[in-house]
Every structure is written in structure tokens, then in C-alpha cells.
A and B are shown apart, each in its own frame.
Chain A
């Protein structure tokens, strides 16, 4: 055990994307000694891939915008399954989080008056996305990274040590959250992991841990997600006694590249549609007009003329159906392909060349131009792109308290960003992810600080890790080296991706999901037995062997939740239960681990406050709610 490096911090943040960095900034600014653990180098996290922008109702382009409109759009986008309080906090606080970035050095694109420019995006009533061309995620992560450097520079002046209060552990993976106490007294005591470069183990003693590990998309075959997205935080929370909510809701982004195979799944930003791009099938028909669902009939254009008019005159025209929420567009593309009206490589066509000048395309969508030119030999200023759905985001995640981001059931554990569930309901709107990271990253930092302050004020002794837990963590981490005849971890991962994509993918049925669960049960054994070659220094095979345990557990949660929810809503579409069922709208599915098995339980969705519910017309709510719920609404209305 002598080769375990040992660190003590007030707060340990797992993950160095937007949420993790924002959380770390908060806890350090409030005086807590903070560590940030990053699987990759600093500044490489998946946030960097976000293209379109950050949703925040600053009203710079259309002054009618405000937090209430943003709130309503978010609720609609999530098909009224979002946790109301989270959606409210998110909409209210997003503008301040964007302006704060600017004060840390971010350079957003500008309006003519010199304010932050805002662009249109699917499901957002007004132009709302602060952006930098189509590389907004890069701007966000670089700004946070540089803010961290700024804070370290301040600390250096005082202590002559850059890392005295805020330390980044790059290329370091956490495999276990360590707890202290039993029953009621059980709480977070630290975290255990390894440095990817040296393979050496690290032990963090800390009374608070913030999970900001992002998503789970690596468990699907066609995905826009990087190797890091193995659901580590989801699995860590489960194994610490936490719960996951809404895991059946997976967002398949409608526009991923489909050709060549090596880039299949690579994201094509929604800004292409926000800026005028249209979707057509092999018959050159703008098919999205055929797929406007009833609940959105009043908000979208019925004719091409009206849709085209919207770009220049949004006051007098309705928005084009290409800008429906992502789940609707993905399903429509699937339906077109299935009906034999797809593009040569199994997608549909997305064209911006007939709508914008080559110059404008290169200015507004520079990295898309670059990406297609260099990877597919397609010049998007002259030709259309071939696109199809790609696994992009998980709406579900760790169940948290809305205000403090505290994980339900595990004192000292907090969670923010994609790893947390609730905000996006059954479907996330584009642009709401980056704002989520900032709003709830900060709140998780605040939550951890408050927890620590209460602990210190009460004079409580900080929990200490148990040696036997550390021993067990070491043993588990080294297990793949002791397997003699186990499988190659890459093969097992590929099989897992196939099972999830084929049987728990965009369109689901009960029989397929039951067979997925059988396959997953077999794979559990295979995952436990994978063998790795080589040593501990920067060994990706070993890293994957350990990540696979997280992927396995999270995939089971997805499959079990998806099988349990007998309706179609947002990022969960069932062939055997088509359409939304208002009774299911009131239900959250909760996963917890019990004797190493995933248990699913139904839980009531929190009820919206009167102030918030009054923002919607009853006629709109009636499309989503049960008669019983609507009667409850009508009573106070009649009384007034």
C-alpha cells in the first residue's frame, strides 16, 4: 500500500468539464481547499464539443425574452417532465452566468450595439443562445480553465504555491467514492483512483465530493461522445447509495454525420438549422412539415413560405419545423429512412448552401465547414450534408436536491451537469446544456461549501476513510491484471455498444429490451473477467477494463427504466406504447442499487408551484395532464 499518494481537501470535484470547473471555482472562491480530478488533460473535456451556444434569456436580440419564456420552453421541450424548481433556477440564473463568463475573459459574438449576440435554436421561442461561431463549448471551457489559472495566480501571491487552494489532477480517474459511518451516519469521506500516466493509486480524503462526470454515450454504437463518457459518476453515485432518475431518456441528436463510417455519429450542430438549414429527403421534399405533432401545431409554420419568412420576420411568421425539439426531428428522420426516402448512406439531407452565401456559412459555421471539408470531402457551401441521429446526451442522472445539487441519500455527495438528472425532463433543448453546467456547477459548489460550513460550525470531526475500503478498491482496480484467460476489453465494449444501440436505441419495444437485459446479464460476467496486457503506465486497455464496470451498471439502469416506462415521451420512444400517457407524466423512475442489483421504483414528480403553472394556458397543459390534474388547476382558477 506504500505506493498510494495521499491528499486532503475540503472539496473534491470529479470531472473538469463546464460543471466541474464552475463548481471548483465556486468552492475555491468561498475559501475551500479544492481538488479537480480530470480523466483527460485540462481543457479537453467533452464540453469542448458543444457548438451552438449557451441558452440565457438576456433579451439582447429580442427584448421580449425573459426567464419565464425560457422556463416555459424548457418545460415544453422536456414534455412537462422536468423538475420544475430546477428549470426555474436554470432559467432565472443563466443570464448572470453568461455575463460572469464575459467578466472572466470570454469573447462572445456581438450584436450591433456591442452586446452579446444571441441565435435561434430548436425549441427556443426567441433568439437566446450566446455563442462564438460554432465553437461555444471551447470558449466556455477555455474561459473557466483560465479563470482557474487566475485564481491559482492569486494563491501564488499569498502562499508562493499555485496549488495551495485549488489543484487540478489531470489524467486521473476515480474508481470509488469512499464512505464513513453506517446507516443514518453514513457520509462521504473521500475518493480513490489512479493516475493514468503512472498507474499509481491516489487517495483523497474529503468530506464532500462533487460528481461532474458528464454522460454515458460511450455505451451506444453511434455516438457523438468521447471515450470519457462511460457514466462514471452515475455508477459511483449508485454504488454510494445514491439514486438515478429518468435513465430511460436518452437524447439522440438528429444530425450526426453518417458518412464516411469513421466519422459516423460526429455532431453536426443544430445551428445549421437555426441559421437556415433545411432537411430534405431523397424526393427533395422538406419532410419535417409532415411530422409536426399536435402539441406543437400552434408554434410551427405549416407552409414553406411561412417558415422561410420567419428568418427575417419572426413577429409575423411561425418557425420552421426543422427547429422542433430534437426528439421530434430524430424520430422523423428515422421514419423517412425507414420509408425508403433516405440519402445514399442511410440518413437524410441537410442543406444550407442554397440559403446562405458561402461567405456567411464560413463565418457562422466555420468548424462545420472545416469538418465536412476535411473528413468527408464535402463542401457545405455548395453541397448538402448527409445526416442522421446520433447518441448525444442523457437526460437522466443522479437524483439531486434542486437548490443545493446534493445527491439524494448520500450526505456530502453533490452532482451537477449532464451527470445530474431532472432539469431536462424527457428531452433537453439545445443550448440548455451549457447553461445547466454553469448554473448547477455553481450551485453544487455552493452546496458543498454550505455542507462544510455546517459541519465545521457543529464542531463535527471530519469523516475518515476505512482502510478496508481502500484495500478493496486497490484489489478491484488490479483485478484485470490477474485474469489469465479473460476477454479483450475492447471486444466487450463493442458488444455492449451493439446491444444498447440495437435493443435499447431510438425506437424501443418490450421484447427487445427484455432480450437486452438477458444479454447484459451475460455481459456482467464477461466484464468481470476481462483481462489486460502490459503494465500500469498509461495503459488504455486497463483503463477501459475499469470503465466497463461503470458502463455495464448504467446500461442496466437505462434498459430497466426503459422497459418499465410504458409510453413514448421525449428521448424514450416505444413501438409497443406509442404516444404520451398523461398518467406516466406524473412519474419519475428511480434506480437504486440493492445487493448489486438495479431496482426500479416509481416516484411522484414534484408538483409545480402556482406561480409557475400560471405561466401556461390550461389549453396547453391539457395536452399533457390527466383530467384529475386539470380539475385541480381549474378549481383555483374558477375561485379567483
Chain B
């Protein structure tokens, strides 16, 4: 077996009770944190609760905080730590703990449900869609999102202020709005709802979300700031405001 390493892992329940527990565990060459967590599970704590699926950075399930930093366990290599460093793994802080490293992320699904779905032009038949690569590229960047919710976890608007969860949907959900707004064939205008119902105004572009994104999506620069600009346009330009009204109405007829 490889080198012995020290892990401290949060063991706790949904009542808020729990503590960090120490594990000494073997680590082999090339391993990621999730491999080591699996070894703890298989040899020392078969009931250690961990959420994971693909182990390839594609599904966004194994989000936790490692030494306080929100990240994916499957993409965090052991050789990024010092050899004698103790590695502390804790659940996402912004969401309630279900058990151990698993959190209740239903907040994100509930907020996503508030964003009206893609609405194509009436009468456009499947198969007749024509869009240029250039036009789809902008929204495609946001559709790389694997819904790991690290951006939601790291965003201080809700990380440090539970009370904001009612009024603020978080970067992932606002990026979804931006994605639909930039979709070449979507006919709905969601800019007002982004501001008034999803709390876009709470975002003060500190870019923490962008930095946490394992897919390196430019959430702040490419989604949130342009969305804010659209809100300003709609709010303060009466011609654009009227134009949007007319466009939306005619396409809904």
C-alpha cells in the first residue's frame, strides 16, 4: 500500500449534531480525494455518507469543501497537498446537512423551477430550427454547467445570509436565465423576473462563483453582468421596454 495520510471528515446527522472524525488511510499514486474517501468507506466506515456518480467531473455530484474550499472530490488530486498535510473534508456550508458529507440541495431545484422554460416561436416546427454556431456559442457556454452547485455554495449572498434564500436564486439559476435570454430562438423576456423575483440585484459581482466553477464558465462576466445590463436597458429605456412588450405579445398570439 501507499503512504499513510491523515483525513478529518465531518460525521454528522440532519439534526445538526456531529463532529470531525480522524482517519488514517493509505493513499496510492495518482489518486483523487474521492478515491481516499472510498477507501475510508470500504475499510473503516461503511456507513460514511457520500454523494457521487461519474467520478470524472461530469455529473457534479461529489461537491464538498476540502480544507474549507468548495470543490469536487473527484477532481481534487492528492498530489496538490503537502505530504504531511491533514486533509479536512466537510459538507457544503450553504445547504443543510443530510448526513456526513451529503447535503440537501433541493433549494437549487426549487429555484430552477421558477425560471420559465424555453419558449420557441409559435409555428416553428421541429427540424426547421436554423441557428448559427456563433449565435449558439454564448448559451452553449452556460449549458456546460454540471449543476455541482459549488457556485451556489460559495456565493456569499446566501452562504452567510440564510434569510436571503427566499429572495435570491443564486448564480446557477441566474445563469440559466442568461442562457435562455441569449438563446437565438427563445421568445420570452425574463429580465424583469430575474431582477424582481430571482434577486439579480443582490449580486455585487465579486466573482466568487466564477472562481469556484469546475467547468471554468465565466459566470460573472458572460452571464450575470450582461443580464444586469439587459435589466438596466429594459428598466430605463422606454422604447426598448415598449419594443419588448410588443414582441412578447405578438409571439404569444
Contacts and interface: CB of A to CB of B under 8 A. Distances in A.
Partners in one complex: yes
A371 B116 contact: no
B11 to A, nearest CB: 10
B14 interface: yes
Most buried by B among A102, A133, A494: A102
Contacts of A107: 131, 136, 139-140, 143, 183
Contact of A260 (B31, B45, B75, B147): B31
A152 B115 CA distance: 12
Contact of A41 (B75, B105, B143, B180): B105
Interface stretch (B94-102, B156-164, B195-203, B242-250): B94-102
B117 A376 contact: no
Given A153-B116, A374-B75, A534-B46, A263 B133 contact: no
A110 B55 CA distance: 30
A149 B113 contact: yes
A48 B132 contact: no
A49 interface: yes
B53 A371 contact: no
Nearest to B115: A149
B173 to A, nearest CB: 12
B235 to A, nearest CB: 25
A146 B129 contact: no
A459 interface: no
Contacts of A146: 117-118
Given A152-B113, A260-B30, A537-B98, A99 B57 contact: no
Given A110-B136, A147-B117, A135 B46 contact: no
Given A267-B56, A488-B42, A42 B47 contact: no
Most buried by B among A46, A49, A170: A49
Interface string B44-69: 01111111111111111100000000
Given A114-B131, A262-B30, A370-B57, A375 B143 contact: no
B95 to A, nearest CB: 12
Interface string A161-185: 0100000001000000000000000
Contacts of A48: 53-54, 58-59, 146
Interface string A45-60: 1101100000000000
A54 to B, nearest CB: 14
Contacts of A115: 130
Contacts of A40: 51, 53, 59, 61
Given A100-B126, A110-B131, A490-B41, A105 B117 contact: yes
A539 B28 CA distance: 26
A242 interface: no
A494 B136 CA distance: 45
B234 to A, nearest CB: 22
Most buried by B among A46, A138, A489: A138
A246 B113 CA distance: 41
B142 to A, nearest CB: 10
Contacts of B32: 262, 375
Given A152-B113, A259-B30, A260-B30, A540 B53 contact: no
Contacts of B113: 149, 152-153, 162
Given A44-B60, A261-B28, A490-B46, A197 B53 contact: no
A103 interface: yes
B144 A135 contact: yes
A604 to B, nearest CB: 38
Interface string A371-389: 1001110000000000000
B127 interface: yes
Give the interface size class of chain B.
Answer: 35 or more
Contacts of B58: 48-49, 135, 138, 367
Contact of B77 (A135, A266, A374, A535): A374
Contact of A110 (B53, B57, B133): B133
B53 A103 contact: no
Interface string A504-534: 0000000000000000000000000000111
A540 B100 CA distance: 11
Contact of B30 (A44, A261, A370): A261
A253 to B, nearest CB: 13
Interface residues of A, number: 71
A149 B102 CA distance: 24
A530 B109 CA distance: 36
Contact of A532 (B13, B47, B124, B129): B47
A105 B60 contact: no
Given A48-B54, A267-B56, A376 B30 contact: yes
Interface in A80-130: 95-96, 99-100, 102-105, 107-110, 113-115, 117
B29 interface: yes
A539 B50 CA distance: 9
Contacts of A95: 127
B35 interface: yes
A444 B53 CA distance: 26
Nearest to A257: B56
A30 B64 CA distance: 40
A146 B186 CA distance: 14
B108 to A, nearest CB: 9
B229 interface: no
B4 to A, nearest CB: 17
A267 B100 CA distance: 30
Contacts of B75: 374-375
Contacts of B105: 41
A377 to B, nearest CB: 9
A41 B61 contact: yes
A226 B55 contact: yes
Contacts of B45: 533
Interface string A291-304: 00000000000000
A109 B139 contact: no
B112 interface: yes
Contact of B46 (A149, A532, A538): A532
Given A149-B117, A491-B42, A537 B14 contact: yes
Contacts of B183: 105, 107
A526 to B, nearest CB: 15
B102 A538 contact: yes
Contacts of B124: 103
A139 B147 CA distance: 12
Contacts of A46: 53-54
Contacts of A170: 109
Interface in B116-154: 116-118, 120, 124, 126-127, 129-133, 136, 139-140, 143-147
B42 A263 contact: no
A43 interface: yes
B117 to A, nearest CB: 3
Given A138-B146, A197-B102, A541-B41, A105 B126 contact: no
A398 to B, nearest CB: 23
Nearest to A109: B133
Contacts of B109: 41-42, 170
Nearest to B136: A107
A547 to B, nearest CB: 13
Contacts of A542: 47
Query: Top 6 nearest A-B pairs by Cβ distance?
Result: A260-B30, A534-B47, A150-B117, A541-B46, A105-B118, A114-B130
19 contacts: A40-B51, A40-B59, A44-B59, A44-B61, A99-B127, A102-B129, A109-B133, A139-B143, A147-B117, A170-B109, A226-B53, A259-B30, A262-B30, A263-B55, A266-B55, A266-B56, A367-B58, A541-B41, A541-B46
Given A490-B41, A537-B14, 16 more contacts: A40-B61, A44-B60, A48-B58, A49-B54, A107-B131, A132-B143, A149-B117, A162-B113, A226-B52, A227-B52, A262-B35, A266-B55, A374-B75, A376-B30, A540-B46, A540-B48
